[in-house]
């Protein structure tokens, strides 16, 4: 697991940790990917500073520092996606990485706390309606990013704190259809396979196979990633893993 940290000169450094050496305290970013995301190579050669996605890395690092945390993790630049072995390990470890994070910061690029102009039909700040409509709630990977961490805080595009899973416990279940107890950390095994599948039913992923791969942690199963196999094959293999007798589960259609 690679983690970012601020250097004394204000620049970011990357450190790779293995197994039990992973720090017990780190922050982690949850966001929706956009244009010009900073990849590992971009960060290492310095070109990432000119990219639009760099501001999210800065936001996460600055918020972690305010919370007294030295290390933080951002998926765009902490994984070498050109390395198939590393990508496999990262995806199968992702739920645990979010679960073990001290803080999860959700950056909502489509939610603003800025006051509207007088020319608009709405006056003042109406971030809650934008929050309910945020595309973050429609993405496949953000399901585990909502459920796995104990502390999830939501921020506007300006980096302003909107609330957390507790203060927004009325809005989040209404948006997602997820039970409050699940949002607050009840073991996911307490919820039926059908209910968990329903949480994911209308969420979308950029790569079709990720419709299945993004649910590995939700069902606590492991399987090889085979990009190119297609959505249906990936879901079929996921169903087989969930249906195995050792899992004590049965599965209906997704």
67-94 pLDDT per residue, tens: 999 999 999 999 999 999 999 999 999 9
3-state secondary structure of 28: strand
Order of strands across the sheet that contains 12-16: 12-16, 2-6, 71-73, 27-31, 103-107, 152-155, 161-164
- Give the pLDDT confidence score for residue 252 in this predicted structure: 46
In 3D space, the residue among 73, 71, 128, 136 whose CA is nearest the CA of residue 106 turns out to be 136
- Give the pLDDT confidence score for residue 244 in this predicted structure: 86
CA–CA separation, 80 and 96 (whole Å): 18
Q: Which residues are paired to 27 by β-bridges?
A: 72, 103
CB proximity list for 115: less than 8 A, separation 6 or greater = 124, 125
Q: What is the mean pLDDT of the segment spanning 201-208? A: 95
Q: How far is CA 111 from the centre of its chain?
A: 17
Q: What is the mean pLDDT of the segment spanning 227-236? A: 96
CA–CA separation, 234 and 49 (whole Å): 36
Place of tokens 């697991």: 1
Contact criterion met (CB below 8 Å) for 31 and 136:
yes
Q: What percent of the chain has pLDDT over 90?
A: 86
In 3D space, the residue among 195, 194, 152, 202 whose CA is nearest the CA of residue 172 turns out to be 152
CA–CA separation, 95 and 201 (whole Å): 19
């Amino acid at each position: 697991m690679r983690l970012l940290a601020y250097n004394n000169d204000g620049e970011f450094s990357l450190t790779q940790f293995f197994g039990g050496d992973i720090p017990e305290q780190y922050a982690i970013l949850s966001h929706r990917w956009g244009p010009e995301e900073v990849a590992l190579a971009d960060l290492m050669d310095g070109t990432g500073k000119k990219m639009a996605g760099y501001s999210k890395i800065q936001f996460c690092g600055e918020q972690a520092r305010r919370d007294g945390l030295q290390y933080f993790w951002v998926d765009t630049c902490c994984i070498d996606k050109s390395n198939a072995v590393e990508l496999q390990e990262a995806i199968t470890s992702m739920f645990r990485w979010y679960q073990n994070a001290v803080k999860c910061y959700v950056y909502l690029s489509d939610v603003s706390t800025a006051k509207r102009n007088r020319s608009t039909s709405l006056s003042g700040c109406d971030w809650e309606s934008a929050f309910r409509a945020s595309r973050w709630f429609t993405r496949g990977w953000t399901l585990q990013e909502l459920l796995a961490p104990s502390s999830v805080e939501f921020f506007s595009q300006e980096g302003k704190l909107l609330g957390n899973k507790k203060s927004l416990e009325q809005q989040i279940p209404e948006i997602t259809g997820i039970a409050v107890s699940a949002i607050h950390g009840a073991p996911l095994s307490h919820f039926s396979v059908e209910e968990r599948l329903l949480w994911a039913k209308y969420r979308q992923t950029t790569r079709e196979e990720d419709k299945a791969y993004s649910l590995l942690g939700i069902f606590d199963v492991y399987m090889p990633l085979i990009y190119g196999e297609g959505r249906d094959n990936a879901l079929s293999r996921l169903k087989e893993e969930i249906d195995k007798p050792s899992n004590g589960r049965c599965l209906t259609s997704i």
